[in-house]
Amino acid sequence: MTPTTVDDTLFASVDPPRLAGSRCGNCGTVTFPVQSSCAKCTGSDMTTVELPDRGTLWTWTVQAFEPKAPYRVPASGFTPYGVGYVDLGEVIVESRLAGEPNGLEIGLPMRLVLLPVWPDSSGGDVVTYAFEPEGGAT
Amino acid sequence: MTGVSIVGVGMQPFGRHAPDFTGMAMGVEAVRLALKDAGVGWADIGYAVGGSNVSGKPDTMVSLLGLTGIPFVNVRNGCATGGVALATAANAIRAGETDLALVVGFDKHARGAFAARPADYGHADWYAETGLMITTQFFSMKDRRYLHTHGLKDRLLAQVAAKAFRCGELNPTAWRRTALTEEEILSARVINPPLTQYMLCSPAEGAAAVVLARSDRAADMCDRPVNLAAVAKRTRRFGSFEVFAPWLPPDAGHSPSVDAAQAVFSASGISPTDVQVAQLQDTDSGAEIYHMAETGLCEHGAQQKLLDLGETAPTGRLPINTDGGCLANGEPVGASGLRQVLEVVLQLQGRAGARQVAGPPQIGFTHVYGAPGISACTVLTAGH
């Protein structure tokens, strides 16, 4: 069964996970998430595209304290998690980082995965996108 | 063009105050102090601009100050609110709407990191609900990228914070008045690595106010008026790395701080190398580091040497955040930019007490930066 996502417009496909962005028909700028106009050339000729599922870590941190609402605390309670920007070539995407946030460094090869964030109404998990190191979560 | 001068300043010190002392009441207190400093009354003011992010509509304070019927503009531009309010009031004087204007900023924030509503910034709910969209994440990630790009060490973050608390120790109105060693700062609780708790400013309470006058009238009401040589505000351009950004393009652009600083240096005819005292947005210690270069006060990567030589301390060649900045004063968002102006005014007038820069200095600079990528700068010069 395809899991429920936090926002379907983020995804070009859920299985396998692929992010959706927009490409400007005028200047070629690629955005994430999809948007109806171009932040660079102000044009509105935007086409939805599938973004690469692999990239490199551009910068990162660890969310070490529990954020206030509207952050949704997981059912299992808050644990520190990684956050970063991943360079996908034509666009750099902000993302949760999956797994224990150890051994992260700028330039690390990363791949797209799904990350469960809170329960859905039927006992399954609602998922968001995340990136993890190519060698698997550390 | 009509010159604009600062003829009075007032402040309700930043920090924590009684629960029933509202942000608005702090604003009124700061206004009264600024009017007293200028030697004028509320009835003399012909135009007012007020800024607050969370503590109510500033123009409602006329019910306490006096219902004189003047135009009163409200500003809500995040951390850059004070600078934007100042620019708005200065433009009213230049446009001939008044000879005497008042600018006030105030806020009373709850403890702990800010939480923003996605819809306020044009984002969908997932962005905050999944644990992104937190200001301190951005600060730490911009810092890490900047330090990496320019070959700087994490320790520089602790050096900046230690300098801020040494300044706070010398400032009787600072919130944080205890000096800390670099080791104490580095070993403190990690908030978002590489940032520890002492490398980030805290949301606070307080207010600041400034009285502006036409320069040709300023000498009549103030012994040492300070010229507002230039003030400018800018929003972000394509490609700059900003807070609350789910994506950026691979070819980095420059920040709005670069544009706003260039605008005031160009308009005033003053070079960044002429600046003798500066106040820069130091929401975290890394912000002070990159803002030094973005505003043109130094080259990218030169910060390590400047800090090692103590050049940014009040006794150095380029004193920065002499009152302890946001790190030692905390940040009531609406008031923060005016605190910077107030500190530079005190420095140029020789009224800064134990933290006074020798001279006194003749040329000052202020810079604020706020979400979602806005900046406001001023160049201030000593009047004659």
Q: Can you say how many angstroms the Cα of residue B62 is from the centroid of all Cα atoms in its chain?
A: 25
Distance CA B320, CA B86 (A): 21
Cβ within 8 Å of residue B263, ≥6 positions away: B230, B232, B234, B377
Over 70: is that where the pLDDT of B186 sits?
Answer: yes
Which of left, alpha, beta for B295 (phi over 0: left; psi -120 to 50: alpha)? alpha
Q: What is the mean pLDDT of residues B186-190?
A: 97
What is the predicted pLDDT for the residue at A135? 81
Within a domain: B170: no
CB distance A85–B141 less than 8 Å?
A: yes
Chain A, nearest residue to B115 by Cα: A68
- CB-based contact (8 Å) between B132 and chain A? yes
What is the predicted pLDDT for the residue at A63? 98
Over 70: is that where the pLDDT of A138 sits?
Answer: no
Q: Cα dist. B23→B16, B27, B31, B204, B233 in Å?
A: 11, 6, 12, 10, 25
Provide the angle, in degrees to the nearest 10, between the axes of the packed helices B285-294 and B135-149: 60
Select the more confidently predicted residue: B114 or B346.
Answer: B346
B154 contacts in A (CB within 8 Å)? none
What is the predicted pLDDT for the residue at A137? 55
Q: What is the mean pLDDT of residues A58-76?
A: 95
A24 contacts in B (CB within 8 Å)? none
Q: Can you say how many angstroms the Cα of residue A101 is from the centroid of all Cα atoms in its chain?
A: 16
What is the predicted pLDDT for the residue at B193? 97
pTM higher than 0.90, yes or no? yes
How does strand A18-24 pair with strand A46-50? antiparallel
**DSSP letters of B319-368?**
-BSTT-HHHHH-B-HHHHHHHHHHHHHHHHTT--GGGPPSS--SEEEEEE
**Dihedral angle over CA of A76, A77, A82, A83, nearest 10:** 110
Chain A nearest CA to B110, separation (Å): 12
Within a domain: B153: no
Q: What is the mean pLDDT of residues A59-63?
A: 98
Within a domain: B148: no
Over 70: is that where the pLDDT of B183 sits?
Answer: yes
**Predicted confidence (pLDDT) per residue in B69-86, tens digit:** 999 999 998 888 998 999
**Dihedral angle over CA of B185, B186, B192, B197, nearest 10:** -20
A68 contacts in B (CB within 8 Å)? 112-113, 115
How does strand A46-50 pair with strand A30-31? unpaired
How does strand B47-51 pair with strand B72-75? parallel
Over 60: is that where the pLDDT of B235 sits?
Answer: yes
What is the predicted pLDDT for the residue at A66? 95
- CB-based contact (8 Å) between A58 and chain B? yes
Please report the ipTM that was assigned to this predicted complex: 0.96
How high is the mean pLDDT of chain B?
95
Within a domain: B15: yes
Distance CA B64, CA A48 (A): 55
Domain of B371: which CATH number?
3.40.47.10
- CB-based contact (8 Å) between A84 and chain B? yes
Over 90: is that where the pLDDT of B88 sits?
Answer: yes
A39 contacts in B (CB within 8 Å)? 238
- CB-based contact (8 Å) between A69 and chain B? yes
Distance CA B33, CA B10 (A): 5
Of the candidates A133, A128, A112, A130, the residue with the CA atom closest to the CA atom of residue A72: A128
CB distance A72–B130 less than 8 Å?
A: yes
Count of structural domains, chain B: 1
What is the predicted pLDDT for the residue at B372? 83
Chain A, nearest residue to B253 by Cα: A40
Range of the domain at B308: 4-111+200-382
